[in-house]
Structure 1
Amino acid sequence: MTRTGMHMTKKGFSFQGPVEGVHALNSWITAEDDLFLVTHMGFLEIDPNHWHLDIDGLVGNPVKLRLADLLAMPQREYMSFHECAGSPLAPTIAKRRIGNVVWKGVPLSLVLERAKISSDASYVWTSGLEWGSYAEVEEPYQKDLPIAKALAEEVLLALEINGRPLSMERGGPVRLVVPGWYGTNSVKWLGSITAADRRSRSAYTTRFYNDHTAWGVRPVWHVAPESVIVSPSPSDILPADMPTTIWGWAWGDNQISSVEVSVDGGGSWQAATVGPREDRSWQRFELSWSPRAGQHLLICQCTNEVGERQPLADARNAVHSVEINVA
């Protein structure tokens, strides 16, 4: 949907992230310079004075909101991890594009309430304004949310990240944010919201971002339990028999209840301490270790509060390992 006051500044798939990968994630709140950027069709620049959001479909009061309208509505802050689902063309390869940020914006539920969403609506379709092609598909970027998630208090029309207005690269002036779900659902450069009684038929909900399981096709929605080791990193050379701390982050839509760490490539496991979470933030885990000289393969594996366990291989949330040299 092409509108006045916007243009594509870069076309095609794009990825940016820290050179050190997860080992750059030393802070509880991830600085924007260390937070990944992924786009399917490119970057869109929008004149905020021309931006508007259309809410239509199964609503009693179709509305068009300008940026000033959103700024005048009640806003809230919400801390959450933010994770890319990885490539929909290779869904079993772990990419570990992750960060932890504070979003601020208008709860989606307030906008749907203003539009008088119908009780017949079971899904909300959200569409971005960018255009172009991805994997030989050329159509608008559209995702959907079950109505229960769309009305959840944490789902925002985000205006800020970490206390600063959303930049063009981050999907500004307004993007959808769906905490607890993979980033593919958090539509950037949001342009329209449609209430419907069925799922969207967009390529991004049918062809892409669906997992084929033994129980059938499952949308890539809620984030499965995952953890990474931040320190030590492969570039660290540790002295033998000196105490050090293995630490990292664990996260998921459901809270993480335990993390185990192996220092011998999975031969044995030790329980790490796991910190609390705020809203849907990631959680820090730690394990004290006095290594012997030689090569060590460190692995972390987490389990969430409903018993889901991080898989060892062949999944977007497969366990993370780090090779360490102890002098």
Structure 2
Amino acid sequence: MKRTGLQMTKTGFSFRGPDAGVHALKSWITPDDDLFLVTHMGFVEIDPVHWYLDIDGMVGNPLRLRLSDLQAMPQREYMSFHECAGSPLAPTVAKRRVGNVVWKGVPLSTVLEKAEIHTDASYIWTAGLEWGEYADINEPYQKDLPIDKALSNEVLLALEVNGRPLTPERGGPVRLVVPGWYGTNSVKWVGSLRAENRRATGAYTTRFYNDPAPSGMTPVWSVAPESVIVSPSPDHPLEAGVPTKIWGWAWGDRLITGVEISLDGGNLWQTATLGPRRDKSWQRFELPWIPTSGTHSLLCRCIDELGQGQPQSDARNAVHSVQIQVSDGGIRNDQTAT
């Protein structure tokens, strides 16, 4: 049953991102204009006065929380990269929709503890309030979290991003945020939580967002190691002999421990310097470079603390490459003359 105080402001699948793609991501904290927006069924606008969150299922104390209830609870900030898993209809195509933001909200564990989750509950089902059709499916957007993840202290019922209240486009007034996991799990316009002892049965957990594995289909949950070159970009003019640096971002659910860069399309690799991580933020890497004239195929790849790396191709976290043209300019000639 549709709630009052809700309206769809745009229907159907929607994507918005910076025209320059990953080359626009020059800031440690991604500003709103450069942070991607993706929705399956459309955008919802919710009157904050009418918003509420129901928590039920395998609980001892079913709850209905209003926005004012959440605002009165202790909140925390958490920095994290935020990445779209890409299209569930083409899961091996790397989309590289990512940013790094600071969320603020109430830890999900606080609410679940108030609801007195049964000890034999093993999943938390989360449903959004949007409605409509996606890929011939017309049903609520529902995801699930294993109970251990749901109770971890970084998972939030977020009220703010980058110091500002969540807008309707960003899933406000309240959305789930699951740092370290692909954005499909961070349900926007959240309206209900349900404790259960099995996985959710809807299309968004059964038909979509599952990957083949040797042991069978696995959920698209934890973000695999990934890295991108931000600079130089293909339209960045470079001259031979002029020192520059190749730099970008690396991220994953687990700490990234190494990044390598290739200047020749993947034949030889050099180790880049790698910066630290805060919470689950992305990490900056860089490598000094004195380019020679001609066309260069720059690649980057990373590895995490578990030894997991990036596939060369055919994966959502495939190795990123950038084609760079270096001119044989006057600066190089001057250097030759001296």
- Is the TM value for this pair above 0.5? yes
Shift, 1:242, TM fit: 1.4
Shift, 1:215, TM fit: 2.5
Find the counterpart in structure 2 of residue 26 from structure 1.
26
Find the counterpart in structure 1 of residue 115 from structure 2.
115
RMSD of aligned Cα (Å): 0.5
Shift, 1:214, TM fit: 2.1
User: In structure 2, the residue corresponding to 1:138 is in which secondary structure?
Assistant: coil
Find the counterpart in structure 2 of residue 84 from structure 1.
84
Find the counterpart in structure 2 of residue 272 from structure 1.
272
Find the counterpart in structure 2 of residue 99 from structure 1.
99
Runs of 4 or more off by more than 3 Å in structure 1?
Answer: none
Find the counterpart in structure 1 of residue 17 from structure 2.
17
User: In structure 1, the residue corresponding to 2:160 is in which secondary structure?
Assistant: strand
Find the counterpart in structure 1 of residue 262 from structure 2.
262
Find the counterpart in structure 2 of residue 47 from structure 1.
47
Find the counterpart in structure 1 of residue 224 from structure 2.
224
Matches within 5 A, 1:1-327: 1-327=1-327
Find the counterpart in structure 1 of residue 331 from structure 2.
none
Partner Cα distance (1:236, 1:54) in 2? 51
User: TM-score, length-normalised on structure 2?
Assistant: 0.96
User: In structure 2, the residue corresponding to 1:169 is in which secondary structure?
Assistant: helix
2:113 partner letter: E
Give aligned-pair identity as a percent: 73
User: In structure 1, the residue corresponding to 2:211 is in which secondary structure?
Assistant: strand
Shift, 1:220, TM fit: 0.0
1:203 partner letter: A
Partner Cα distance (1:165, 1:212) in 2? 38
User: In structure 1, the residue corresponding to 2:22 is in which secondary structure?
Assistant: helix
Partner Cα distance (2:237, 2:66) in 1? 54
Give the count of matched residue pairs.
327
User: In structure 2, the residue corresponding to 1:236 is in which secondary structure?
Assistant: coil
User: In structure 1, the residue corresponding to 2:168 is in which secondary structure?
Assistant: coil
Partner Cα distance (1:40, 1:121) in 2? 29
More off after superposition, 75-84 vs 212-221: 212-221
Deviations 1:2-60 (A, max 9, x none): 10001101100000000000000000000010000000000000000000000000000
Deviations 1:264-320 (A, max 9, x none): 000100000000000000000000011110000000000001000111100000011
Shift, 1:120, TM fit: 1.0
2:94 partner letter: A
Deviations 1:173-224 (A, max 9, x none): 0000000000000000000000000000010000000001222111000000
Deviations 1:48-93 (A, max 9, x none): 0000000000000000000000000000000000000000000000
1:164 partner letter: R
Shift, 1:105, TM fit: 0.1
Partner Cα distance (1:184, 1:306) in 2? 24
